[in-house]
Structure 1
Amino acid sequence: MTETFISLLSIVIGIIGAICTPILFKKYSFGIVGNTIAGVFGSIFLIKFFGRLGFNPQSIMQNGTFHGFLFSINCVVSFLGGALALVCIHLIKSKLNK
């Protein structure tokens, strides 16, 4: 695996997180396109924000070795980033509609 592939996989996992969130919470759905956009930006933002703690793609592939534990943390943060972005967008939308 390379850093680029890990980054793309993180974005896909963020999209999955944003698409799966409305299954549990119906009011957070923005349709498939809106959820996909929220998942992309949410996963990128959270990985860039918290990736400095040591689970960014460069740290996962440090010295050419694959660190599975760091990759699993990266996947969880990407999933949560997509879900949290969807919730934040819903909160912003509800505040602007008032």
Structure 2
Amino acid sequence: MTGTLIALISIVIGIVAANVTGYVYKKYSFGVIGNTLIGVFGSVFLIKSFGRLGFDPWSIMNDGDFDGVRLIINLLVSALGGVLGLIVTKMIYSKMNKE
């Protein structure tokens, strides 16, 4: 597994997490396309921030030596980024569109 593949899998996990959250909690949904975009950006933002601590895809590979614990943490943070991105975006949307 390469670092690029791990990064792509992380983004897909963020997309899935945002869409599942939008499906389960209808009040946070922006539709499939909106949830997908928010999942991508939320996932990438949190993974980039958290990756500075050593959980980025290239640290997971570590010169060809695979670290499964770091991969699981990376995927969980990616899912959390998608969910938090959706919730925070909905909160900002609600504040900006008060009547």
Same topology, TM > 0.5: yes
Q: CA RMSD in A?
A: 0.7
Deviations 1:23-81 (A, max 9, x none): 33220000000000000000000000111111110110011111000000000000000
Counterpart in 2 of 1:79?
79
- Equivalent residue runs for 1:59-74 within 5 Å: 59-74=59-74
Between the aligned partners of 2:93 and 2:22, the Cα distance in structure 1 is: 16
- Equivalent residue runs for 1:23-34 within 5 Å: 23-34=23-34
The answer as to 2:41 corresponding to 1:41 is yes
- Corresponding residue SS for 2:55: coil
Runs (4+) off by over 2 Å: none
Segments of 5+ residues of structure 1 without an aligned counterpart are none
Between the aligned partners of 2:66 and 2:28, the Cα distance in structure 1 is: 36
Instruction: Give me the TM-score of the superposition, normalised by structure 1.
Output: 0.97
Percent identity between the aligned chains?
A: 59
**AA partner of residue 6 (structure 1):** I
Instruction: Give me the TM-score of the superposition, normalised by structure 2.
Output: 0.96
Segments of 5+ residues of structure 2 without an aligned counterpart are none
